[in-house]
A and B are shown apart, each in its own frame.
Chain A
Amino acid sequence: MVGGLFIIITSQNYLKKVVGLAIFQTAVFVFFVSLAKVLDGTAPILTKMENAYSNPLPHVLILTAIVVGVATSALGLALVLQIYRNYETIEEKEIQSLELKSDK
């Protein structure tokens, strides 16, 4: 998770920043699902036998969050493509220097 945050801050490439965001998100999902685990439990699909099931509530929250996460990272990628169309680069430093040039 911290690795994802690290990538977001340190890389100059905007596509890599989007990837870092996705990794950050996925790490949070893994943490959430790990809270739902019950030792010796099974997947929460009910059967005739009585046994322990892992907690289905975090599963539901994460299931929807994964799809939403992909939709939003697609939005981020679309923004990156638009940035590339306007500036012809996706490196942060180069865009900053171009902006400074056009302000003058």
Chain B
Amino acid sequence: MNFLLINFFLISLLLVTTFFIFKTTSLISVVALTGAFTLLCSAIYVNLDAVDVAFTEAAVGSGISTILMVMAAAKLPEGKKNKLINLFPSIILAVSISLILIIIIANLPLLGDPNAPIHLHVVPEYLKESKDFFHIPNVVTNILASYRGFDTLGETIVIFTAGLGVIALLTSNTLNRKTNFKKNNKKNER
């Protein structure tokens, strides 16, 4: 019962944060609110017994990503209070998607049901082997590196590629190639 109450409280805080991110125009406050959002999410993960995920979310989501966003927001101009675009179609889209999701979630097994299909398939074998054969207490690490090694290799390569992309976009010598667009615009103005 306690568990559900805490969860409900945290999720309602999440909704409030999302609403204020939507409303705020100042970029730096949007970034700060995003940091708060991810920190709340890591609290939810602890409540859901996912300590590894909570650790990652606290370090990566609210640490590094907030720093990067602050760096970006410092270089960008202050956000303007503009009229919202596409307001009507997006309301329809949002309402219909949330209806579909609610219908689907109503058909899912109850939260925390130990007999749900997800808990019956391969995971008991992983838990048993990890305990009796490999002697690795933290099953998450074991699955991450061993059973799902290929996935993790792929994800590492994705991170590597994203890093390469950012380096190529931001630190390459763009002095010469800089802004054909601006030159064109200046020509037009003359």
Direct A–B touching in the complex (beta carbon < 8 Å)?
Answer: yes
Checking B30, B131, B139 against A16 with a beta-carbon cut-off of 8 angstroms, the contacting residue is B30
Q: How far is the CA of A40 from the CA of B130 in the complex (A)?
A: 21
Interface pair A38/B137, CB less than 8 Å apart:
no
Interface pair A68/B158, CB less than 8 Å apart:
yes
B173 contacts the other chain (CB 8 A) = no
Instruction: Tell me the chain A residues, 45-63 only, with Cβ under 8 Å from chain B.
Output: 45-47, 52-63
Majority SS at the chain B contact face: helix
* A53 / chain B contacts, CB cutoff of 8 Å: 127, 139
* A60 / chain B contacts, CB cutoff of 8 Å: 140, 143-144, 148, 151
B131 to chain A, nearest CB (A): 5
Q: How far is the CA of A93 from the CA of B138 in the complex (A)?
A: 51
Query: Across the two chains, which residue of chain A brings its CB closest to B34?
Result: A19
* A6 / chain B contacts, CB cutoff of 8 Å: 22, 90-91, 94
Interface pair A63/B41, CB less than 8 Å apart:
no
Interface pair B185/A102, CB less than 8 Å apart:
yes
Interface pair B137/A3, CB less than 8 Å apart:
no
Interface pair A73/B65, CB less than 8 Å apart:
yes
Interface pair B82/A86, CB less than 8 Å apart:
no
B5 contacts the other chain (CB 8 A) = no
A7 to chain B, nearest CB (A): 5
B8 to chain A, nearest CB (A): 12
A93 in contact with B82 given A53-B139, A66-B57, A77-B72 (CB within 8 Å): yes
* B178 / chain A contacts, CB cutoff of 8 Å: 85
Checking B91, B118, B152 against A64 with a beta-carbon cut-off of 8 angstroms, the contacting residue is B152
Interface pair A59/B123, CB less than 8 Å apart:
no
Q: Which B residues form the contact surface with A (CB < 8 A)?
A: 3, 15, 18-19, 21-22, 25, 27, 30-31, 34, 37-38, 41, 44-45, 48-53, 56-57, 60-61, 64-65, 68-69, 72-73, 75-77, 79-80, 82-87, 89-91, 93-94, 97-98, 101, 108, 111-114, 116, 118-119, 122-123, 126-127, 130-131, 137-140, 143-144, 148, 151-152, 155, 158-159, 162-163, 165-166, 169-170, 174, 178-179, 181-182, 184-185, 188
5 A-B interface contacts by CB (under 8 A): A7-B21, A19-B34, A38-B49, A56-B139, A87-B181
